[in-house]
Amino acid sequence: MSGQNSPGAKSMRTPLSRVRSLGASHSGTSDFWRQRMTAVAMVLLMVPVIVVVMMLLGRNQAGAAQILGSAPIAIILLLFIVASTWHMKIGMQVVIEDYVHSETVKLACVMANNFFCIAVALASVYAILKLSSGV
């Protein structure tokens, strides 16, 4: 991605060393790290999220909206939404890279995966912010 790694730039590095360890996604180990970081975040958030869901069981919309609109609960859910959609974006990309071997189809699947995860994330974040602002 960076300039010094582009093929045209003057570099002492061999072509092999430039591509080594970049993997099927051409992005190196950053996804590996983010997958673990979001996993640990969700391990920490799991108990609070389960408590929130239990609080909402059996309530009508007015009761649910009141609970979801409170600051600590909204923040817990926002953190969980960001961690989970990011985690599932990386996870599904790994599955795609494992099973889809045509480069064109793979790119289309990776793109659709990104669209899906970003749409789910923003729709959920929008709902939480709407409930928190009370409009």
Q: Under the rule (CB under 8 A), what is the footprint of other proteins?
A: 36, 39-40, 42-43, 46, 50, 54, 57-62, 64-65, 68, 77, 84-85, 88, 91-92, 95, 120, 123-124, 126-128, 130-131
Q: Which two tokens stand for residue 135?
A: 């409009």
- The angle that helices 61-68 and 103-133 make with each other, rounded to 10 degrees, is 100
Q: From 90, 88, 71, 74, select the one nearest 32 (Cα to Cα).
A: 90
Most distant CA pair in the chain, distance: 66
CB of 103 to other proteins, least distance (A): 22
For residues 11 and 92, which CB has a smaller minimum distance to other proteins in the complex?
92
For residues 19 and 129, which CB has a smaller minimum distance to other proteins in the complex?
129
For residues 60 and 104, which CB has a smaller minimum distance to other proteins in the complex?
60
